[in-house]
Amino acid sequence: MIFDKFGGVLLFFLLFFGNILAVSIKYQQRKGKKMKLLKLFSLSLISMMYVFSNANAADFTIKLAHNGPEQHPFQDGALAFKSELEKSSNGAIEVQIFPGEQLGDEEATSQMIKLGTLQCAIESAGGGLAPFVPEADLLNLPFVFDDVEHFYRVVDGPIGTGLAGKVESALNAKFMGWYFSGIRNVWNDERAVKSPDDLKGLKIRVMGSPVLIDTFNALGAQATPMSFGEVYTSIQQGVIDGAETDHVDLLVENFYEVTEHVSLTGHMYLGAGLVCSNKFLDTLPADLKEKVVNAAKSSVSVERAAMASMTGDALKQLKEKGLKFYDVDLGPFRKKVESVYLKNADNVGGMAAIQALAKQ
């Protein structure tokens, strides 16, 4: 592959250095200067290695950030994107993946996308998109999805397309597709939560989404926004009592080490957008830009499949580790959050948008 791309240049340099070396050897042999011959050979070899190494360098580099650890389905999607793009671009584009909030939390990396200082990122609707696109909170409303199929109908249909367009405008980015970050449940290390009354006074970490903050305050908890990377130590130190995540996060982030009680509220189906900065995309030739888009879109199905596969396995492992799971009567929970719909309707597109989502 490299020779196909740089063969002419390499052949020229090989012949050039070969001729110089041949002439020099004859000259140095006549003079008997073996050390100078060795030095000349070494310099020639280093020069050729430099040519080879530069021939193999990518023309463009994409840094892709997400907040999950390497075991998370986000990483599966990111690796699929990397593999396909580096192959389809014939090495012209290199993808470097930065998991686990290495480059900052979701709100910070969304800002970097907007400024063009980061090429691509996976941003959840709650932590990375809602702070910039209030309408994205439509997806974060409690108890609006019946099941995973309902979620996919929404994000892959007109509602998801419309939200993607708003994200593109707000972040000056290309929206590549909706990843799925799982069905979220509330958990804590204090007591079993089987009704909203059991949540009273518990400090529960939530993303920065206004809808999520309102939801847990309405349920009687003390909603506590903070970076995802701070959750583990905050529970250890007693800053918070628990959080709300899906089973995969509960496992791969090792939260099972600092909590005990998991209530199967299924209150939220979290979507996440794969976005790439237009400032970066505009620097690419048209053919490479198309390859980025194609690779990104192809990664969506990989991530979703990984989430589906890992969710059941995560639940099994969490039970084996001793966590206690509780089924709950959702009726009282739904009743408590009715005010959340009314309070946030205008920000998410109106009651008509909420009703359209429910009927999708």
Question: Quick one: 22 and 71 in the same domain?
Answer: no
> What is the per-residue pLDDT for 58?
82
> What is the per-residue pLDDT for 12?
46
List of the chain residues with pLDDT < 70? 1-57
* DSSP assignment string, 142-210: TT--SSHHHHHHHHTSHHHHHHHHHHHHHHTEEEEEEEEEEEEEEEESS----SHHHHTT-EEEE-S-H
Q: What is the CATH number of the domain that holds 306?
A: 3.40.190.170
Q: How many structural domains are present in the chain?
A: 2
Question: Quick one: 198 and 182 in the same domain?
Answer: yes
Question: Quick one: 40 and 126 in the same domain?
Answer: no
Question: Quick one: 169 and 33 in the same domain?
Answer: no
Look up the pTM and report it: 0.84
Question: Quick one: 139 and 153 in the same domain?
Answer: yes
CA dist., res. 190 & res. 209, Å (int): 25
* DSSP assignment string, 2-16: HHHHHHHHHHHHHHH
Question: Quick one: 13 and 162 in the same domain?
Answer: no
Show the domain range for 298: 60-359
DSSP E strands, the chain: 60-65, 93-98, 120-124, 173-188, 203-206, 222-225, 242-245, 261-277, 324-326
Question: Quick one: 163 and 31 in the same domain?
Answer: no
Question: Quick one: 176 and 274 in the same domain?
Answer: yes
CA dist., res. 188 & res. 262, Å (int): 7
Q: Which residue in the block uniquely carries the two structure tokens 């059991």?
A: 198
Question: Quick one: 82 and 37 in the same domain?
Answer: no
Cα-based distances in Å from 161 to 20, 55, 155: 62, 41, 7
**Phi, psi for residue 304 in degrees, rounded to 5:** -65, -40
Question: Quick one: 170 and 124 in the same domain?
Answer: yes
Which bin fits 122, alpha (ψ -120 to 50), beta or left (φ > 0)? beta
Question: Quick one: 162 and 203 in the same domain?
Answer: yes
Q: In the beta sheet, which residues pair with residue 203? A: 222
Question: Quick one: 282 and 342 in the same domain?
Answer: yes
